Amino acid sequence: MIPTRQQLFQKLFPNEPSYRWKQALSGLFSQAKGWKEVSAFPSFLREAVEKDISWISVQVKTIEKTKDNETIKSLLQLTDGLEIESVLMRNARDAWTICISSQVGCAMRCAFCSTGAMGLKRQLSQDEIVDQYRFWQQYKIQEQIHGRISNIVVMGMGEPMANYENVRDALNILCEYTDVGPTKITVSTAGIFASLDHLLEDTLWPPVRMAISLHSADPLVRPRIMPSTPYDFFDHLRDWTKAYLEKQGNRTHHLTFEYILLDGINDRPEDAKKLITFIHSIDSHRIRVNLIPYNKAEGDLRSSTKKQRDAFQRLLKESDIITTLRTSYGQEISAACGQLAGKS
């Protein structure tokens, strides 16, 4: 395991007061370009830290942009040579959303997702998660890109709930040291209940939004496209969702179910009915269904037609279920959901 910056700092400077690390974090999120510019530090510390602790844990290898410059994908190299992808997308608020990775590769092996095909290489550290934000912040300044980063989605490579503590600690740092509030951060998960159950009790888990990659409400179909599905998935998800919404108390805090529409697999009227029945068995007014057009990855799955998608959405609406349709960005540079595979 690579030690985090904080661990290194504490090891190298055990006699420094505890507020020093907060100063270090403020420095990391300031305009400073290196430890030498962290003005809160006494000069001996600036020099010493500069020598022993890296300023940023990700280095850009390649950048790809869509023709309209509205989606930018970076391939980032980590200190051990492994690579991850991270995406900057313009959003409807004339600001930017970043899509960050939580692992190198992924163990979930969802049939529709390119990341799964590479398997899991390793967890990302707290620094590597946080530094994807810092990388884009710095890139925006360097390229004179206007508009702030207003939203963060943990929807890049990896399964965030399989790297729970590092994701949690990174999110807490992002909530404290950036102007992106917790309600503007969404963590998407295939549904790892060991972590999801723990999250309900964890006072350190920040009040970010959660999205569950559901993709089918049929107990025979979901395991086929998402082999990580446990046998009691739907019962567990129902109980978890009730407990989660109860805990959030706040009537405006909703939970999203993500649903990729796949031709002939989960997009028929009977599939919509199963989804409706499942949601009605919970608290339908605080669940949103985000319908996602399928972005071509490996394999022979096909996207639903617009007609199928409209019919599916109509059935949900008629049953009083709030749906949104995800706009897909970055397909021409394979930067869209499920297309991140870290190939150089």
Q: Which residues bind ligand SAH (CB under 6 A)?
A: 108, 112-113, 155, 159, 188-190, 213, 258, 260, 292, 294-295, 297, 337-338
Nearer to ligand SAH, 125 or 266 (CB): 266
Which residues are 120's β-sheet partners?
Answer: 105
Let me know: does 296 contact 114? Beta carbons within 8 Å.
Answer: no
Which CB sits closer to ligand SAH, 112 or 177? 112
Q: Show the beta-strand stretches assigned E in the chain.
A: 58-65, 71-78, 83-90, 96-99, 103-105, 120-123, 149-154, 185-189, 209-213, 255-261, 287-293, 322-325
Best CA proximity match to 288, nearest among 250, 317, 329, 327: 317
Which member of 37, 83, 85, 159 is catalytic? Answer: 85
Task: Calculate the CA dihedral of residues 285, 286, 287, 292 and round it to 10 degrees.
Answer: 100
In the complex, minimum distance from the CB of residue 327 to ligand SAH, in angstroms, rounded to a whole number: 12
Give least dist CB 160 to ligand SAH, A: 6
* Pick 27 or 156: Cβ nearer ligand SAH: 156
Q: Smallest gap, in angstroms, from Cβ of residue 86 to ligand SAH?
A: 13
CA distance 71 to 86: 11
CB of 317 to ligand SAH, least distance (A): 21
Q: Could you give the angle at which helices 164-177 and 19-28 cross, rounded to 10 degrees?
A: 80
Distance CA 112, CA 295 (A): 8
Name the closest residue to ligand SAH (Cβ): 338
Within 10 angstroms of residue 65's Cβ, the number of other Cβ atoms is 16
Active site residue 337: yes
Nearer to ligand SAH, 148 or 288 (CB): 288
- Of 152, 240, 236, 260, whose CA–CA distance to 199 is shortest? 240
Q: Whole-number minimum distance, CB 214 to ligand SAH, in Å?
A: 9
Task: Name which of 49 and 103 has its Cβ closer to ligand SAH.
Answer: 103
Residue 294 CA, distance from chain mean position? 18
Please pick, among 99, 106, 113, 337, the residue that the annotation labels catalytic.
337
- Enzyme catalytic residues: 85, 337
